[in-house]
Amino acid sequence: MLLGQILLKKRWVSLNQLETTVNQQKDSNHKLGELLLQQGFIAQEQLEQALKEQYWRRNGYWVID
């Protein structure tokens, strides 16, 4: 599962915020999480939790919401 999908599922970002940030990401060298933090859309703790969930899902762990 992609980081943006996790953040949307948790309702930590809106679809509009995510789309805006993804478009900005295309023109920069920055990672999505960095840009979302810089814009104040998410907090550091939210990013860390979402990245942990992404890691768990990619490595076959079950994640209970």
Q: What is the rounded distance in angstroms from the CA atom of residue 10 to the CA atom of residue 5? A: 9
Residue of higher predicted confidence among 2 and 1: 2
How many helices (H) does the chain have, and how many strands (E)? Answer: 4, 0
pLDDT single digits (tens) 9-61: 999 999 999 999 999 999 999 999 999 999 999 999 999 999 999 999 999 88
Residues 43-55, buried b or exposed e (16+ Cβ, 10 A)? Answer: eeebbebbeebbe
Which of 18, 23, 53 has the alpha carbon at shortest distance from 33? 18
In this structure, the number of other CB atoms found within 10 A of the CB of residue 30 comes to: 14
Q: Has residue 64 got a pLDDT over 80?
A: no
pLDDT over threshold 80, residue 65: no
- Residue 2 has what pLDDT? 93
pTM (2 d.p.): 0.86
